[in-house]
Chain A
């Protein structure tokens, strides 16, 4: 009994120690809707090194769509917080996804489950929807990118993108994945408000399969490899 208690207290202290560096790194608030892998799950039974946790860097999403009073962002001591709507209440009946808000915003409009206003006052004004796909060939093994104007012009005005983010001319813009992940080009919106960039969403943008005979170009180091 006493032994058990000791272990319990020990592992709690350990858990704190283990999570302290992570805390310092992102001050808790910056870890997003993510949770460090359960502290305390150590590979070694003896405390040889407390740094041997099974997952060092994996962050998993925990309890998406938490109510405002429990989301770690709104102050539960503020009366207004308890009047705010919990997201889950609002999302009931909308098509779901496994990322972002966990709502498929495009389908919600396509299936007429939602009809957000296009004008601040006039609820009958319709968006100017333009159906034009732009294909961008990608120099990597992932499928090519199809940029669909239709889904974008359901939500946005041309002036939201042209010309500040994209010159309106096919191929006139330099885009790559690092820029997107840093919040530029497509990343101005994707990864912030529109769907995020995760393994589950790559194929939303990378949606046009490569020709069957396509293979990735070999790097110079391989072509000139003297030991080949």
Chain B
């Protein structure tokens, strides 16, 4: 598994152009990912891995919320569970299923680590983000306001 940083280092010269073109693209075609997709990026970027994209829609077709949010102890907060690979191979969080028994196993790194590098932790499409006047500053405080 090569990190995205390695396979991109050669192209850094193009990245200035890329950033400009990217800015233009972003302005005209913003993300239209699926409602409730969670980007988890507490640590991934820093370790040279792409951020993780967790698709709620895909999992709720197979499991009720109760399985993850009651039985497996996932808290209702993007990034709030401080998931790490150590916990996953210990059978916790994603590792309770992605173990080669309930679902494909953990060596398929790029199935989970599939987000665009640099994307901060958050839940996609939430009402809070879509308000004309967002109640929080997107870049400095990407996480949702604490529940309760």
Contacts and interface: CB of A to CB of B under 8 A. Distances in A.
Nearest to B128: A183
Nearest to A190: B127
Interface string A208-219: 000000000000
B61 interface: yes
At the interface, is chain A mostly helix, strand, loop or mixed? loop
Interface in B65-112: 65-67, 69-72, 76, 96-97, 102, 108-112
Interface string B10-47: 00000000000001101111111111110100000000
A28 B31 contact: yes
A71 B72 contact: no
Contacts of A29: 26, 30-31, 119-120
A113 to B, nearest CB: 10
Interface in A141-184: 154-157, 159-160, 164-165, 181-184
Contacts of B65: 155-156, 160, 193
B27 A22 contact: yes
A53 interface: no
Given A117-B63, A187-B127, A101 B138 contact: no
B27 A28 contact: yes
B124 A80 contact: no
A16 interface: yes
B56 to A, nearest CB: 5
Nearest to A187: B127
B147 A188 contact: yes
Interface stretch (A3-11, A41-49, A62-70): A62-70
A98 interface: no
A16 B127 contact: no
B31 A197 contact: no
Interface in A14-41: 15-16, 19-20, 22-23, 25-36, 39
Given A33-B35, A80-B114, A118 B64 contact: yes
26 contacts: A16-B24, A23-B26, A26-B129, A30-B134, A33-B33, A34-B30, A34-B130, A39-B27, A39-B28, A72-B32, A73-B31, A73-B115, A73-B124, A78-B114, A80-B113, A81-B110, A85-B58, A90-B58, A117-B63, A120-B63, A155-B64, A156-B64, A159-B70, A160-B69, A181-B128, A196-B125
